[in-house]
Amino acid sequence: MAEKKKEKENVTPLVRKYWLQRYDLFSRYDEGIKMDEEGWFSVTPEEIAARQARWCAGAGVVIDAFAGVGGNAIQFAQLCHHVVAVDIDPKKVALASDNAKIYGVEDNIDFIVGDFFQLAPFLKGDVVFLAPPWGGPSYKAIENFTLDLLKPKDGHSLFQVAQAITPNIIMYLPRNVDVLQASALSWLSSPPLNVEIEENFVRGNSKGITIYFGDTLFT
């Protein structure tokens, strides 16, 4: 109890709102889950991450291009054969590795510290998952979130890099994203990729938009 009280006292004002939602982010939070400040507002809520993983259940290798503290990689590892989790921040990779151990899936994930754009030409996989930085909580103030606002590169460039690996791509984007613009990425392939668009909710609140490109026949 004293440890939990101390943890709550150390929560920054920016994180406080997300700390109240900690069990939505990781159901096993109390077993030792750790996040840095950015992780609190960028990790995919567990319910959504599990749904995204079900789309490609049975896939051989899933590449998580911006793994952060591991929320998605953990869920992919539970339903797919193997995950390659990439993040440019070594601290996040260390946190993600520790969090994977709590869920017992660390042996199914290769964690790599590096820049996805530099590593992509050397990566092989059946699915690429893209949840690039949205620019922090301030993204909510934008009425129509366009792909050029994604970081560290615009959505078109990001999609093309992933497309060179596999046509099966999952993008997790802000709830205020320009859906028509994002779904039009399918036309970068010939013939155009199949597209599924899903609005994601947690406890009745919209959290984001997932767009699935390509096939779902992995099982």
Query: What pLDDT, in 10s, does the model give residues 52-103?
Result: 999 999 999 999 999 999 999 999 999 999 999 999 999 999 999 999 999 9
For residue 8, name the pLDDT band (cuts at 50, 70, 90): low
CA distance 106 to 11: 27
Average pLDDT over residues 21-29: 98
Q: How confident is the model at residue 13 (pLDDT cuts 50, 70, 90)?
A: confident
For residue range 103-150, list pLDDT tens digits in order. Answer: 999 999 999 999 999 999 999 999 999 999 998 888 888 999 999 999
CA-to-CA separations, 210 to 84, 151, 175, in angstroms, rounded: 20, 17, 9
| Side chain identity at residue 106, one-letter code | E
Alpha helices in 80-202 (DSSP H): 90-103, 116-119, 155-163, 179-183
Structure tokens of 104? Answer: 């017992």
Q: What is the mean pLDDT of the chain?
A: 93
Burial state string for 113-139 with b = 16 or more CB within 10 A and e = fewer than 16: eeebeebbeebebbbbbbbbebeeeeb
Q: Categorise residue 82: left if φ over 0, alpha if ψ from -120 to 50, beta otherwise.
A: beta
DSSP string, 157-177: HHHHHHHTT-S-EEEEE-TTB
Question: How far apart, in whole angstroms, are the C-alpha atoms of residue 43 and residue 37?
Answer: 10
Q: How confident is the model at residue 218 (pLDDT cuts 50, 70, 90)?
A: low
pLDDT at 1 over 60: no
127 membership: H or E segment, kind and range: strand 127-130
Read off the pLDDT of each residue in 191-216 and give the average, rounded to a whole number.
95
Name the token pair of 146: 């366009």
Strands 82-87 and 109-113: parallel
How far is Cα 198 from Cα 212, in angstroms, rounded to an integer? 8
- Cis preceding-peptide flag for 152 (omega within 30 of 0): yes
